[in-house]
Amino acid sequence: MFRIDQRNSTPIYQQLVQEVKEAILKGLLRPSERLPSVRELAVQLTINPNTIQKSYQELERQGIIENLQGKGTFVAEHYRPTKDRERLSILKDDLRRILVDAHYLGLNEDELLRMVEQLLTELKMGEDNR
């Protein structure tokens, strides 16, 4: 269900956060749908349960998933984007960094924009999924 690369240097728990967000965006996970339990997923991905838990807590903090006591973890029914200024500013900085790197890797403006478009399509953004 989720792809985790143990050799990737980005923390596993962040990779999982990202994977869940993408899965929801792509419609693979739907609002109110149940996520695998911490233990289940730990077994599936051969990752420590604590690591899974950290991911779930982060996703809950962002309002993307919800925990029902003793029943499990679910995709939030109504996700409300935050428009958090601070996080938007960080995002913009990250984007700037990427554009700079892209230039030094030899990508020109057109190639870059095409890459963006392709990724947006892949993620089915602009569609009705949450």
Q: Give contact residues for DNA (rule: CB under 7 A).
A: 9, 11-14, 35, 37-40, 47-51, 53-54, 56-57, 60, 67, 69-73
Should residue 82 be labelled a site residue for a second copy when binding is judged by CB under 8 A? yes
Should residue 81 be labelled a site residue for a second copy when binding is judged by CB under 8 A? yes
Phi, psi of 64 (to 5 degrees): -90, -35
Task: Quote the least distance from Cβ 8 to DNA, whole Å.
Answer: 9
Helix (H) or strand (E) holding 68: strand 65-68
Residues 32-61 that bind a second copy (CB under 8 A): 61
The identity of residue 37, as a single letter, is: S
Rg (CA), the chain: 17
Q: Name the residue nearer to DNA (CB basis): 11 or 27.
A: 11
- CA distances 63 to 21, 43, 56, 79, 80, Å, are 11, 25, 11, 7, 8
Task: Quote the least distance from Cβ 42 to a second copy, whole Å.
Answer: 15
